Structures are given as structure tokens and as C-alpha cells.
Amino acid sequence: MDIVGLYSKTAKDCVNRFGKNCSRDDREDLIQDCILKLLEVEDSISDRFEAEGPEKANNYVYGICHNKIMNVIKTNSKHTNIASLDDYNVLAEIQEHIAEVTSTFGVSEQDLDEAVKQLPRTEQHVIRSLYFHKTKERDLAASMNVSRRWVRNTRDEAVIQLRVILESK
């Protein structure tokens, strides 16, 4: 049975459906990968064709191509660097970068320290813990016996107040 001749259109249809966000070259590579996979399982496809008919065999080929495409896409996406703000390290790097940029654009550490001293005591504690002592939100919340949402809200309010204080200087 000529698997490539019978099922190359099915492989192309599957790639066009599930690989539509890929470039043309990537889609052609996916088609080749699917056809190679079909050649690997040629006996299984022939058995399915003889036992259950051409429609079931076509569905089986479509499933094989779908799985191959998903595996290739997942494998390729593992090699790309995707940054997530849910990752604490990425968020910490962004906060450090913001702190560096802020310090080079006219706000000295002394002015910032003076502005923080003008905040209410709990807001001072939250700002100093999160930004100066690099304490994680969840650790700060646990140590203060409050929720993470409370810590975030307090931090947000403190940052707004700091902006007002620093802009007035």
C-alpha cells in the first residue's frame, strides 16, 4: 500500500489546521515529519485500513499527524526563551531593573529613603521588605499574618504615595 500517495493530503490538511501559526517553511517541515511518521507506522495503518475501512484509517492517520505536530511544536517551544511574570525570578529582575533605571533618572537613594520615611509605619515595612530586603510577598504576608492581597494592596498604595512625595520635591 502506498501510504505517502494515499495519505499525504491528510497530512497536509492536518498541518494546515494545527500548524496555521507556523511559517510556510515550518509547515513544509511538519508535513515531512508527518509523512516520515506515517512511513514508520505503515503496517499499523494498513491493518487498520483492511480491518475497519478507509474512513477509519484516514481518521487514524489524522490522529497520528496531529500528535506528531503537537510533539514538534512542544519540542520547539521548549527551546525558546519565554519569560513569564508569574516566575518570581523574572519579576525580581524587572523590579531590579526598574530600581536601577529610577536611580539613574534623578531619584537618589537618599531622596527615596526620605520619602519612604514619610509613609505610615506599615507601608514603610512593606516597601522596605519587598524592595530593599528582597522578601517575597508570600513570606511577608506570612510573617505579618495577613493575606498576599493585603500586601499587594498596601504596596500599591505606598508606591502611589511615594510618587506623590517624590514628584513634589
Evaluate whether 136 touches 143 at the Cβ level (below 8 Å). no
Across the chain, which distance is largest between two alpha carbons, in Å? 84
Closest CA to 45 of 28, 20, 63: 63
State the residue for C-alpha cell 516597601: 127
Average pLDDT over the chain reads 80
The per-residue pLDDT for 107 is 67
- Which residues of the chain does CATH 1.10.10.10 include? 88-167
Percent of the chain whose predicted confidence (pLDDT) is above 70? 78
Higher pLDDT, 85 or 163: 163
Residue 91 dihedral angles phi and psi, to the nearest 5°: -65, -40
Q: Find out whether 7 and 54 touch, Cβ atoms under 8 Å.
A: no
H or E element: which one contains 27?
helix 24-40
- Angle in degrees, 0-180, between the axes of helices 109-117 and 148-167, rounded to the nearest 10: 120
pLDDT above 60 (res 101): no
- Residue 91 pLDDT > 70: no
24-40 vs 42-52: helix crossing angle, rounded to 10: 70
Taking residues 116-137, report their average pLDDT: 90
The amino acid present at 151, given as its one-letter code, is: V
Q: 5 vs 61, which has greater pLDDT?
A: 61
**Residues 20, 70 contacting (CB under 8 angstroms):** no
State which CATH number among 3.30.70.20, 1.10.1750.10, 3.40.50.300, 1.10.10.10 fits the domain covering 88-167: 1.10.10.10
Residues 6+ apart with CB under 8 A from 108: none
**The predicted structure's pLDDT at residue 152:** 92
pLDDT of residue 150: 95
pLDDT category of residue 124 using cuts at 50, 70 and 90: very high
